[in-house]
């Protein structure tokens, strides 16, 4: 069975979340200034793994050493920056 869950998310340079391996990331959204959640469709029987996410702002260097998959972009009303979220994935 799958459930919709939310995980607290930080707009630091890197966020690590423990979640089932095959969870489907739906979106990341701000619910208040400086409070963000990642929403996912989660198979509760899946193996728990650490999933890594990196945040970049416009103009930041993006490391080519990591295999990155785009997740979403955030445009906080309380901030002049635009944040782009990528998941670090292994092949």
pLDDT in tens, 67-77: 999 999 998 87
Q: Residue 45: CA atoms inside 13 Å, Cβ hemisphere, count?
A: 2
What pTM value is reported for the model? 0.85
Closest alpha carbon to 60 in 50, 51, 73: 73
Rounded Cα distance, 82 and 11, in Å: 11
Q: Strand, helix or coil at 80?
A: coil
N-to-C CA span, the chain: 27
Q: Is the pLDDT of residue 15 over 80?
A: yes
Distance of CA 51 to the CA centre of its chain: 9
């Amino acid at each position: 069975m799958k459930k919709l869950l939310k995980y607290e998310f930080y707009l630091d340079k890197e966020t690590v979340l423990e979640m089932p391996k095959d969870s489907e990331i739906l979106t990341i959204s701000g619910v208040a200034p400086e409070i963000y959640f990642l929403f996912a469709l989660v198979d509760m029987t899946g193996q728990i793994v650490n999933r890594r996410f990196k945040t970049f702002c416009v103009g930041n260097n993006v490391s080519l050493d990591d295999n990155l998959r785009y997740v979403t972009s955030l445009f906080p009303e309380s901030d002049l920056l635009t944040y782009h979220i990528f998941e670090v994935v292994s092949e």
